[in-house]
Chain A
Amino acid sequence: MGRELKLRLISGVILAAAVLTATWFGGAAFLLLSVGIGLLVFTNGWP
Chain B
Amino acid sequence: MSQARSPAARGEAVTVLLAGWAVMIAAAILTFLELFAAALMLTVAASAAAYIYGRNKPVPFWFGGALLYAGAAMVALAAIRQGGAAGLYTTLFIFAVVWSTDIMAYFVGRAIGGPKLAPSISPGKTWSGAAGGAFFGVAAALGLCAAYGGHPSVILALLALVLSAVSQAGDLFESALKRRCGAKDSSHLIPGHGGVMDRVDGLVAAAFAMFMMAYCAMLFGAGDSVGTVLFRWSGLAVLPAVQGA
CB distance from B41 to the nearest CB of A (A): 15
Q: Across the interface, do A42 and B244 meet the contact criterion of CB distance under 8 Å? A: no
Q: Across the interface, do B245 and A25 meet the contact criterion of CB distance under 8 Å? A: yes
Partner of A23, one of B24, B66, B84, B95: B95
Which residues of chain A are within 8 angstroms of B77 by Cβ–Cβ distance?
Answer: 30, 33-34, 37-38
Q: How large is the interface on B (under 10, 10 to 19, 20 to 34, 35 or more residues)?
A: 35 or more
Q: Across the interface, do A38 and B71 meet the contact criterion of CB distance under 8 Å? A: yes
Would you call A17 an interface residue if the criterion is a C-beta within 8 Å of the partner chain's C-beta atoms? no
Q: Across the interface, do A41 and B192 meet the contact criterion of CB distance under 8 Å? A: no
Kindly count the residue-residue contacts between A and B in the assembled complex, taking CB atoms under 8 Å apart. Answer: 128
| Binary flags per residue of A3-41, CB closer than 8 Å to B gives 1, else 0 | 011111111100110011001111110111111011111
Which residues of chain B are within 8 angstroms of A37 by Cβ–Cβ distance?
Answer: 73-74, 77, 200, 204
Would you call B218 an interface residue if the criterion is a C-beta within 8 Å of the partner chain's C-beta atoms? no
Partner of B183, one of A20, A34, A47: A47
CB distance from B144 to the nearest CB of A (A): 13
Q: Across the interface, do B186 and A45 meet the contact criterion of CB distance under 8 Å? A: yes
A39 to B189, CA, bound (A): 13
Residue of B nearest to A16 (CB): B99
Residue of A nearest to B32 (CB): A31
Which residues of chain B are within 8 angstroms of A44 by Cβ–Cβ distance?
Answer: 186-187, 189, 195-197
| Binary flags per residue of B169-192, CB closer than 8 Å to A gives 1, else 0 | 000000001100111001101111
Would you call B31 an interface residue if the criterion is a C-beta within 8 Å of the partner chain's C-beta atoms? yes
- The A-contacting residues of B in range 89-140, CB under 8 angstroms, are 91-92, 95, 99
- The A-contacting residues of B in range 178-220, CB under 8 angstroms, are 178, 181-183, 186-187, 189-193, 195-197, 199-200, 204
A25 to B92, CA, bound (A): 12
A38 to B1, CA, bound (A): 22
CB distance from A6 to the nearest CB of B (A): 8
CB distance from B139 to the nearest CB of A (A): 19
Which residues of chain B are within 8 angstroms of A31 by Cβ–Cβ distance?
Answer: 31-32, 34, 78, 81
Partner of A41, one of B25, B32, B73, B78: B73
Q: Across the interface, do A4 and B192 meet the contact criterion of CB distance under 8 Å? A: yes
Which residues of chain A are within 8 angstroms of B27 by Cβ–Cβ distance?
Answer: 38
- The A-contacting residues of B in range 47-71, CB under 8 angstroms, are 62, 66-67, 69-71
- In the complex, 6 of the A-B residue pairs with CB atoms within 8 angstroms, ordered by the A residue number, are A8-B193, A31-B31, A34-B81, A38-B70, A41-B69, A42-B24
By a beta-carbon cutoff of 8 Å, the part of chain A in contact with chain B is 4-12, 15-16, 19-20, 23-28, 30-35, 37-42, 44-47
